Structure formats: structure tokens, C-alpha cells
Copies of this chain bind each other. A is one copy, B any other.
Amino acid sequence: MPAEMVELRGHIIDSLTLAKVLDLIITRGAEYTVAEIDIGKTQSDPSRVLLEVSSDDPELLHSLLIDLHSQGANRLLTQEAALEPCAQDGVLPEGFYSTTNLPTKVLVSGKWLDVEYPEMDCAIVIDSSSLNSRDTPQATAVPMHKVHTGDMVVVGDRGVVVEPISESHESASFHFMSSQASSEKPKRLIVAKVAERIMVTRQLTPPGDVLAVCGPAAIHTGAGQSLARLIRDGWITMLFAGNGFATHDLESNILGTSLGVSLREGNQTESGHSNHLRVINEIRKLGSIQKAVEQGYLKSGVLYECVVKGVPYVLGGSLRDDGPLPDVITDVVQATDQMRELRANVNLAIMLATTLHAIAVGNILSSKVETFCVDINQAVVTKLSDRGSHQTVGIVTDVGLFISELADILSP
């Protein structure tokens, strides 16, 4: 019966990695034998397990091994990675190795290279110039559309080692329990924990970036001013959002008076249904949000603080955006590439009421980035974890109240 040895190392018990790996084998109808096992004596010691995975069906075994690999179950054999050149721009060689967002190493020219920017569903490209020189080659996770003819790409999973996810118990105090996304948790404590994690991130040397990914509800629920304070005071250092969020931020700050009526009364009627269009139109006339600040048209709010503080932001387009604002990158591939440019130093990401952007951004971040997903809808929170961003801590709560309380702690 065809069989292969795979190895798991690290905190594989309490991160559920071993359990998931065994379950995957059985679920697919394959079998396993535990060849060696060495469980860490204490919580700080890593564990190591050697499994023989077997199946009658060689194709099933092959596909299973690929999936096990993406969980950190690496084949034992130490072999050089196989490389193949791209024959066409934007098209990978058949059999390309498909990355996860876990820390990954690849063995090329006798050296274990760390793959830069591990990201879901990319290829590993080995910087080809170095291959024939004495320089240490560089390995990078590259999305399909960015490869060029001649790029050397890892094919198969030989020579690729993935480090299984391991929860950092010391730091996080947030746990993996399936009920983590439940709405029935002590909420002020959770807000305080997130505040603490943001502080820790900003006190790193050098300080880590804190990325906020925001949906329009962050403004609708009345948290715009709190969010602006968090940016002004340096707690949030990067912003990814869309045309809707930006428009509502601008509208609520520029048309204070007219919207003021409805806000002052607190009534819930949609007012001034065309106000946002007039703001967009004006910004289009001025040329950009930056210019709107320079010319005194925009004097407060989230994007105002971004411009004034030099906090980088990316506004990604979406189908049928109104306008859109001139700052919105309407080509979604370019918008995502722009986000990739900025992510290098992000240590903590907080997703606020945005399914689409949360999943998109979650997928371009390494599993090392501490990620919080805040939404009133449990299904959204669950979905993000399901889509590969396993490190995400889901918080089911009201985004408006959550941000307000977070700002009360960090920027009182």
C-alpha cells in the first residue's frame, strides 16, 4: 500500500494541529500509523510526531499529502525544491506549489530560505538572478497575476517546510474554542484586552503597525469620531477601506449641519439621500481627499486624520460604488497589490464590520499577524476563520459601541 512519512513539529497539541491532521487523514479514507511521538513535557516545549500516512489509492494519497502539508505536516525527506519557469505572464507552471499564510521555508541551492510575505494561495518565486550567482537567493510568495515569463516557481511540495500554527498563550489570552465567536461574553473585558494588545504592538521596537479595516457601519453606528481619535493619537497607523466607508466619513464631517439635524434628533430616517453624492462630486472636483484637506473643505474625521498624520490608507473599489471618490482604486487587482505594498510592518489587524474587506485582507496577511474581527453577525466572524485566517479572534458585538469604548480607553 502506498505510504509516506510526514512530520509535525511545534505546539501541535494545543493548537489542534495534530487533531486536525489525524481527522483529515481519516475523513479522506486514508490510514495512519504513529511512527514516533514526542509530546512536549510542559507547555513551553514543542512536540514532534512522525506519521506514516497510507492509502490504496495513490491519487488520493497524493492529494491528501498536499492538504496535510498546508497544515504543517511536512514530508520527511530533505530534498531541494523543484523549480520550473513560467512560460507565460500571469500563468504558473502546472503543479506549482500553492502557499498558505503560515511561516514557510524552502530548500534552494542547499540553503533553507524563509519565504517572504507568506500569503494564502500564492506561488513561491525564487529570484532567478541569484540562482546562478553566489548571492543567497530570495524566495517570495507571489500571487498568480504577478508572475512573469521566466520566473522560477517552486513545483510540488518537495523542499518546502511549513511551520504549523501555534497559539501564543502568553500574549493573547484569547482562545480557539469553537465558542469564541459567541455573543455571550463579558464585553467590556474583551474591549480592554484588545486595547492592551494594541498598546503592546505600539510599544514594540520598532513599533508595529496597527491596521484597521473598516466597513461603512463603523460610521453608521456612530463611531466615526472615536475612530478618528484613535488615528490622531497614533493607535491606528494604517487604514484599508472602501468607497462607502470613506464617503460616509466625509459626508458626516463635511455636511455637519444638514446631517446634524437628523443626528441631533437621533432620528433614524435616512436623510438627505443625495448628500453623499454631493460630497463625492465636490471631492472629484477638487481632485483628491488630500486636496480637500489642503483647501479646507475637509476639516475633521477619520480620513482627515489620516491625511494630517500621514497615516497610509488604501480605498479599494467595489461594484457600483457611488462616484467613486478619486482616491478609490477601481481596479481591484491594483488595489490589493497596493495593500500588499503596505503590509510589511503590520503586527495587529482589526476588522470592523466588513465581511468583504475582512476576508480579502485576512488572506494577504501572514498568520503571525494578530487579527481581531469585530462584527454583530456571528456568521461573518465564523466565515473569516473558515477562509484560512485561523489566527483570527472573533468578537461578536456592536461595532459602534465597541469602537467608542476602545477609544475611551486608548484616547480618553
List chain A positions with a Cβ less than 8 A from chain B.
13-16, 18-19, 22-29, 31-34, 37, 39-43, 49, 59-60, 63, 66-67, 70, 88, 90-92, 94, 96, 98, 100, 121, 144-145, 169, 173-190, 192-193, 216-217, 220-223, 257-258, 261-263, 265-274, 277-278, 280-281, 284-285, 316-324, 330-336, 339, 355-357, 359-361, 363-364, 376-379, 382-383, 385-386, 396-398, 400-402, 404-405
Q: Is the CB of A284 within 8 A of B183?
A: no
In the complex, which residues of chain B have a beta carbon less than 8 angstroms from the beta carbon of A261? 28-29, 60, 63
Q: Whole-angstrom distance between the alpha carbons of A267 and B217 in the complex?
A: 28
Once A27-B269, A33-B41 are accepted as A-B contacts, the answer to whether A285 and B377 lie under 8 Å apart by CB is: no
- C-alpha spacing A267/B272, complex, angstroms: 35
Q: Is the CB of B144 within 8 A of A177?
A: no
Contact partner of A320 among B28, B39, B363, CB < 8 A? B363
Asked whether B98 lies within 8 Å of A180 as measured between CB atoms, the reply is: no
Q: Do A320 and B364 have beta carbons less than 8 Å apart?
A: yes
Residues of chain B with a CB closer than 8 A to A66's CB: 272-274
Does the CB pair A179–B386 fall under 8 Å? yes
Contact among B27, B144, B222 with A322 in the assembled complex (CB-CB below 8 Å): B144
Report A62 CB to chain B, min CB distance, Å: 9
Q: How far is the CB of A154 from chain B (nearest CB, A)?
A: 12
Known: A186-B221, A319-B335. 16 other contacts (CB 8 A): A23-B177, A27-B269, A28-B261, A28-B269, A37-B39, A39-B49, A145-B324, A184-B217, A185-B268, A185-B400, A187-B401, A319-B336, A320-B360, A324-B333, A376-B398, A398-B401
Closest to A95 in B: B278
5 contacts between A and B (CB under 8 A): A28-B262, A29-B265, A70-B273, A181-B382, A189-B266
Contact between B400 and A222 (Cβ–Cβ < 8 Å)?
no
Count of identical protomers in the assembly: 4
By CB atoms of chain B within 10 A, which of A94, A376, A385 has the most?
A376
Known contacts A221-B183, A401-B187, A271 near B320 by CB under 8 Å: no
Q: Are B37 and A37 in contact (CB under 8 A)?
A: yes
Task: Report whether A357 and B319 are in contact in the complex, using a CB–CB cutoff of 8 Å.
Answer: yes
Asked if B317 contacts A333 (CB within 8 A), the reply is yes
Query: Is there an interface contact between A31 and B42, defined as CB atoms closer than 8 Å?
Result: yes
Contacting residues, chain B, for A272 (C-beta < 8 A):
63, 66-67
The list of the 4 closest CB pairs from A to B, nearest first, reads A186-B222, A98-B274, A187-B400, A319-B360
Residue of B whose beta carbon sits closest to that of A31: B42
Q: Report chain B residues within 8 Å CB of A398.
A: 183, 187, 376, 396-398, 401-402
Separation of A106 and B115 alpha carbons in the complex (Å): 55
Q: How far is the CB of A179 from chain B (nearest CB, A)?
A: 4
Task: Give A71's nearest chain B residue, CB to CB.
Answer: B273
Picked from B43, B187, B263, the residue with its CB within 8 Å of the CB of A221 is B187
* Residues on B with beta carbons closer than 8 Å to the beta carbon of A278: 94, 98
Docked-complex contact A319 and B320, CB < 8 angstroms: no
> Which of B94, B217, B405 is the one whose CB lies under 8 Å from A401?
B405
Known pairs A263-B186, A266-B189, A277-B144; A31 contacts B43 (CB<8 A): yes
CB-defined contacts of A181 to chain B, threshold 8 Å: 382
Closest B-chain residue to A42, C-beta based? B33
Complex: A335 Cα to B15 Cα, angstroms: 42
Within 8 Å by CB of A267, from B25, B175, B222, lies B175
Contacts A376-B376, A397-B376 known; A186 to B14 CB distance under 8 Å? Answer: no
**Nearest Cβ in chain B — how far from A366, in angstroms?**
14
Q: Report the Cα distance A192→B266, complex, angstroms.
A: 9
B98 to A277, Cβ gap below 8 A?
yes
Chain B nearest CB, measured from A91 CB (Å): 5
Bound together, the chains give a CA A321 to CA B404 distance in angstroms of 33
Q: Are B357 and A355 in contact (CB under 8 A)?
A: no
Contact indicator A177/B37 (Cβ below 8 Å): no
